[in-house]
Amino acid sequence: MIIVVIVLMLIVAPFLSNDFDQVKEFIYDIPILEIIASQILYMVFGLAFIPTEPFTIFLATLMSPLIVIIVCTIRNTFACLIEYYIGLGVSDLSNFRKTKIKVAV
């Protein structure tokens, strides 16, 4: 998964570097798209176990820091909920409660 993300970044990077001013204008013209795209990228980074702190700093340069704080808070809340439900499923699959009772006795 990480290799796929890196390859995609290497393919897209030359196109974005040449037209960065146009990309920047496009982002400023449609601010809601910036928030939606950042949420999608946060999900991709979360699935690939890539740290999101550099991306958060990059977003703070594009948007205001207050909006970035709100976006990051929402993303982290959703990530925690998803990880919690995944953990519940893993707990049910591994019969953790039964194993815990056997070990305690």
- Per-residue pLDDT tens digits for 28-62: 788 788 778 877 887 777 666 677 788 888 888 87
* pLDDT score of 77: 83
Residues in Cβ contact with 72 at an 8 Å cutoff, skipping those fewer than 6 apart: 42, 52, 56
Rounded to whole angstroms, the Cα distance separating 80 from 105 reads: 33
- Report the alpha-carbon angle 52-9-80, nearest 5: 25
Average pLDDT over residues 56-77: 82
Residue 18 has pLDDT above 60, yes or no: yes
At 94, the pLDDT band (50, 70, 90 cuts) reads low
